[in-house]
Amino acid sequence: MSFETRISIENLNLFYGEFHALKNVCLQVPKNNVTALIGPSGCGKSTLLRCINRMNDLIDGVRMEGRIVIDEQNILTPGTDVVALRKNVGMVFQRPNVFDQSILNNLKFGLRIHRQMRSKNETKDLIQKCLEDVGLWDVLKDQLRKNARELSLEQQQRLCIARVLLLKPEIILLDEPCSALDPIATLHIEELLRVLRERYTMVIVTHNMQQAARASDYTGFMYMGQLVEFGVTREIFTAPRQELTENYITGHFG
């Protein structure tokens, strides 16, 4: 296992009030790869993901210890510019959460809040580029003023990804991005992730083991708030070193 580290998680502990949700997690996330986090419900995989862009800040009573280093900066320090962090570390959620507004406004929202609205033509080119990246441009180019909630769930999720790409992030976090989608749409999104891997570091949380096996390069298995095992996806799925991992992967529990 040799790779360039993009995110370095060091001795991370997280508490929800009294509850110890993440226990001493250490993880090096490889650059320009897809890293999957798997594990049974409640094992802390989503919580871990939400540490990387500080989304856990929105929950009352969360306390974190340890370090998460991105670009030589510990992003858990109080002085971290969360706005800039979230721009650089985009997130795609479980349910496609497009705003109840036009497709265009959904895309422009990010540019507006970060004061990056350019001239009309430049913005249009940017938007076209991102919609092309997620395979929506040909379908939607003539109906950008349509309400985004009228799209199919798969298209909505693609739009969510486009909305993130528009801000030119380097890291993308995906929190069970296919759990609301049917199997065909799921495959389409996975294909998209494979293409995007060239340019972005991605971390995907999934409860679907086949998805982790198909779509990721590296896999981390979590259980009860601990990272049990981390390695190349093929090895985790064919020759896990821990018995717990093997039991989970073979379906003994989960």
Partner 1 sequence: MRNKFGERVIETAIRFSGFAIIAFVILIFLFLLKDSLSLFRVYSFKRFILEQKWLPISEPPTFGIVPLITGSLLVTVGAIVICVPVGVATALYIAEIAPGYLKTILKSLIEVLASIPSVVLGFIGIIWLGPFVKNTFHLSTGMCGLTSVFLLAFMALPTIISISEDALVGVPRMYKEAAYGLGATHWQTLWRIVLPAASSGIMAAVMLGIGRVIGETMVVMMVTGNAPIMPKSILQPLRTLTATIAGEMGETVSGSDHYYALFAVGLILFIITFVLNFTAEVFLRKGRR
Q: What does the binding site for partner 1 look like in residue numbers (CB under 8 A)? A: 53, 55, 58, 82-87, 90-91, 93, 95, 97-101, 109-110, 112-114, 160, 163-164, 167
Which residues neighbour 175 within 8 Å (Cβ) at sequence distance 6 or greater?
A: 46, 49, 50, 91, 92, 93, 94, 205
64 versus 187: smaller Cβ distance to partner 1: 64
Q: Which of 99, 142, 102, 104 is nearest to 124 (CA)?
A: 104
85 versus 153: smaller Cβ distance to partner 1: 85
How far apart are alpha carbons 65 and 192 in whole angstroms?
35
How far apart are alpha carbons 100 and 97 in whole angstroms?
9
180 versus 224: smaller Cβ distance to partner 1: 180
Smallest separation (angstroms) from partner 1 to the CB of 102: 11
Smallest separation (angstroms) from partner 1 to the CB of 89: 9
DSSP code for 151: S
How far apart are alpha carbons 183 and 214 in whole angstroms?
13
Smallest separation (angstroms) from partner 1 to the CB of 157: 12
Smallest separation (angstroms) from partner 1 to the CB of 244: 32
Smallest separation (angstroms) from partner 1 to the CB of 113: 5
Under 8 Å between Cβ of 97 and 180: no
112 versus 124: smaller Cβ distance to partner 1: 112
* DSSP element (H, E) containing 161: helix 153-165
Smallest separation (angstroms) from partner 1 to the CB of 213: 27
Exposure of 24 by Cβ count < 10 A (0-12 exposed, 13-18 middle, 19+ buried)?
Answer: middle
